[in-house]
Structure 1
Amino acid sequence: MYDWNALWHVHDKHRGGYRTPDADINQLADELQGKLLKSARDEHDLAVYDTGDDYTLLRHDNGLQMLRVAKHHLFDIGVRLVTADEGQALALPYLEVLVDNLATGEEAVWRGEVHCNDEGALSVNGETLRLDMPPRMQFDLPFKDEARFAAALQEAWQDAAEHTTLDAAAWFNAEALEHAPEEAPLDARIQQMCDRYAEIIRREQALLSRRFSDAELHLVAEVLRGVHFESAESCRGLWLAVEARVLHDELDHKYKVDGEALLEKLRALGYTQEVALIEALSPVQH
């Protein structure tokens, strides 16, 4: 359900200590008025209880340590640009922000149509898109006005803003080219497009180099040596090719990486990020 060990370490400043060193932390349901969700397997493991509005985590660590985590704080925020019809009454592309709390069952979605003016500036619902600040959004959630939620939304937006806006710009550029009247190719125009493409790829590669370890990049490079992309559209879904090699050839063991974690990173990539990774790691074709 959750990575309890991660929660234990993230909230380490909120733990409390108790003088009951011999207490069996798997037998405290009555005292805590809760239900045991996860039992401790040994003296160093965590026991987790559902105690109503909180999860209570217990562990023997220089005495009995206890941590209460409010369920309504355990929300996830996902930001994505939707460029294919998913049945919504919105013009493509549109921005979608999903807030989901698995613990409480609370969920809310905000969507806004993205537009591009003649100067190439992007906006959503009439508001210029900025990399440093999310657009105004309305969520029907009980914690929507809390500072913790505002900070998490800001962080989620800043993590996603650059590749989201690059994907949106790429979508509008492709749309404009598709409807533009045919004209004789001009060397200067082609060079301009190549320069812009190279700059987009350079920026994405700089970000990706910090997201992936060297071992993960070597693994992806080996996969790409056996893959040929016939068209620009075929570059989407790089994680599928990596997953196949991980399953069949156990490349994660060969390169000593966490295969599932790598696949999660690849699934989260936008189109321009996938292209940037392919450009960086694919062998030169002669």
Structure 2
Amino acid sequence: MRRKIPPMQTLVCFDAAARHESYTRAAQELSLTQSAVSRQIGALESFLGVPLFRRTRHGVALTQSGAAYARQISRRLEAMERDTLDAMARQGEGGSLSLAAVPTFATRWLVPRLPDFAKRHPDVVVHIETRTRPFLFADAEFDAALYAGTPAQVQSWAGTRALLLMHEDVVPVCSPTLLPRGKPVTPAAVAKLPLLQQSTRPDGWRQWFDAQQVDAPNARGGPRYELFSILAAAASHGLGVALMPTMLVEDELARGELVVACARPLSGRRNYYLVTPERADAGALLQLFSDWLAAQARAG
């Protein structure tokens, strides 16, 4: 079956022109003439039957349809480039996986374990990009995602299935300079300290104080940080107390940069999952990685 796809050179010209919103700059990038780029865009508009650019006083600008098409084409060209580089690097052997992952979990837990996977499967390349929230696999070039969330959040991620890797325990940590003699304090004393918030978990402190049966009027107050890595750094520098998964601050605790402010962990609110598109055949390579990841999670 012949596919209804424009020529690759035409799509490359459109991608460059869309990024710059300039035929002249696109031509410079591609080592073409401005008129050659203009002809390619004209041919693409005729092929689609849709105007992609409109003339302005300063050159050209994307139409609404052009902007939407540019987003799709850009993603697919980037995916083709990654696949090409993989094939060139591995000379047709092995394969590659593209993972979306919550940043701190990838940095602190997954990456230190990846040398084991590389040793077992030296012909497989694992790419990692950060994502903190659910997305549509159909609109992204990912094979799987490492995600932290509640069971309800995972169940609501449409078109996916999830493998539970591990449960999460969170505990208050801070610089030892914030505590009397650097020793743990009571939950009520924690409530009087500056609290650092995790922006994707706005109720984290509220849940922890409720579990300790402590009244904390300022449970939702304090500076907010999106990533656990920033939260850990802020706590290490004495800005306040952070509610952190213990697995993500093992190094800081071992070095004494952080200490447990109150040894009352809260369990079971969030878990870590490997999320994959819901389809009958996950692929041998993804299954291989999934089995290895599950074994690593069981080992702790």
> Which category of TM-score, normalised to the shorter sequence, fits these structures?
under 0.3
Calculate the TM-score normalised by the size of structure 2.
0.24
Calculate the TM-score normalised by the size of structure 1.
0.25
Task: Identify the structure with bigger relative contact order (alpha carbons < 8 Å, sequence gap 6+).
Answer: 2
